[in-house]
Amino acid sequence: MSDLHPDLPFSGLTHSYYHSIDSTNEEAKRICQSVSLPHLVLAETQTRGKGRLGRTWHSPEGDGIWMTLIAQNSRPPEELYAHTFAASLAVATCIERAVSLRPQLKWPNDILIKGRKCCGILIETAGGVVLYGIGINVNMPALPPDLSATATSLQIETGRQIARRPLIEKILSDLRSQHERNAAEILSDWRSTADISGKHLHIWTDQEEIDGIAIGIADDGGLIVDTKQGRKTYYSADVRVREFSDSGSSSSGDKQ
Ligand code: BTN
Question: One digit per residue, pLDDT tens: the chain, 256 residues?
Answer: 688 999 999 998 999 999 999 999 999 999 999 999 999 999 999 999 999 988 999 999 989 999 999 999 999 999 999 999 999 999 999 999 999 999 999 999 899 999 999 999 999 999 899 999 999 999 999 999 999 999 999 999 999 999 999 999 999 999 999 999 999 999 999 999 998 999 999 999 989 999 999 999 999 999 999 999 999 999 999 999 987 655 444 333 455 6
Look at residue 254 in the predicted model and tell me its pLDDT.
55
* 120 Cβ inside 6 Å of ligand 1: yes
* 62 Cβ inside 6 Å of ligand 1: no
Contacts made by residues 180-188, CB under 8 angstroms, sequence distance 24+: 181/86, 182/82, 183/75, 183/79, 183/81, 183/82, 186/82, 186/85, 186/86, 186/89, 187/81, 187/82, 187/85, 187/217, 187/219, 187/221
Question: To test the ligand 1 pocket, which listed residue (20, 23, 46, 57) has its Cβ within 8 A of the most ligand atoms?
Answer: 57
Whole-angstrom distance, CA of residue 111 vs CA of residue 113: 7
Q: How far is the CA of 185 from the centre of ligand 1 (A)?
A: 25
Look at residue 76 in the predicted model and tell me its pLDDT.
94
251: left (phi over 0), alpha (psi -120 to 50) or beta: alpha
